[in-house]
């Protein structure tokens, strides 16, 4: 066994022991679950054990927060995939633009020795930004 597993096992035993002690100490305690509004009140459950009420409350909170953050995470992952597709398309456009710039006969009306910007083709720098190609 690795040290990490031993530490994890010890933490698990301590947490389980504390939960068992809480349950044993509070299992005889019963509460009424009441929904109160001004002028109205409903008894939802009478004489309900406190450990079960707390456990269900924690479980419900974990499920609701998991649903909320799961939906938010799914939305973000969809957006990330869409942005990845956009980046791939822009990279493909950039590669095609670079090929078009370097292809012979791309500018039929201009002499071969003149670059499109009026500089020598040897001294012309290749643009690295997609905005410069537009």
Q: Does residue 42 fall inside a structural domain?
A: yes
pLDDT (0 to 100) of residue 15: 95
pLDDT tier at 100 (50, 70, 90 boundaries)? confident
Q: Does residue 33 fall inside a structural domain?
A: yes
By C-alpha distance, which of 79, 17, 29, 89 is closest to 54?
29
Q: Does residue 38 fall inside a structural domain?
A: yes
Q: Does residue 105 fall inside a structural domain?
A: no
pLDDT tier at 2 (50, 70, 90 boundaries)? very high
Q: Which residue has the tokens 């020795």?
A: 113
Please write the tens of the pLDDT for every residue from 6-26.
Answer: 999 999 999 999 999 998 998
| 65 CB-side CA count, 13 A | 6
pLDDT (0 to 100) of residue 106: 47
Q: Does residue 121 fall inside a structural domain?
A: no
Please write the tens of the pLDDT for every residue from 28-82.
Answer: 888 888 888 888 888 888 888 888 888 899 999 999 999 999 988 998 999 999 9
pLDDT tier at 133 (50, 70, 90 boundaries)? low
Residue 71 belongs to domain spanning: 3-99+128-133
Q: Does residue 118 fall inside a structural domain?
A: no
pLDDT (0 to 100) of residue 105: 47
pLDDT (0 to 100) of residue 60: 95
Q: Report the distance separating Cα 92 and Cα 16, nearest Å.
A: 56
Q: Does residue 73 fall inside a structural domain?
A: yes
Q: Does residue 112 fall inside a structural domain?
A: no
pTM for this one? 0.49
Question: How many domains are contained in the chain?
Answer: 1
């Amino acid at each position: 066994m690795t040290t990490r597993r031993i530490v994890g096992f010890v933490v698990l035993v301590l947490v389980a022991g504390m939960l068992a002690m809480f349950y044993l100490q509070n299992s005889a305690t019963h509460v009424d679950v009441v929904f109160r509004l001004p002028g109205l009140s409903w008894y939802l459950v009478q004489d309900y054990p406190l450990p079960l009420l707390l456990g269900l409350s924690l479980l419900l909170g974990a499920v609701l927060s998991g649903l909320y953050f799961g939906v938010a995470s799914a939305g973000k992952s969809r957006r990330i995939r869409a942005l990845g597709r956009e980046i791939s398309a822009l990279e493909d456009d950039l590669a095609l633009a670079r090929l078009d710039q370097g292809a012979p006969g791309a500018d039929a009306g201009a002499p071969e020795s003149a670059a499109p910007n009026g500089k020598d083709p040897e001294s012309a720098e290749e643009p690295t930004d997609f905005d410069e190609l537009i």
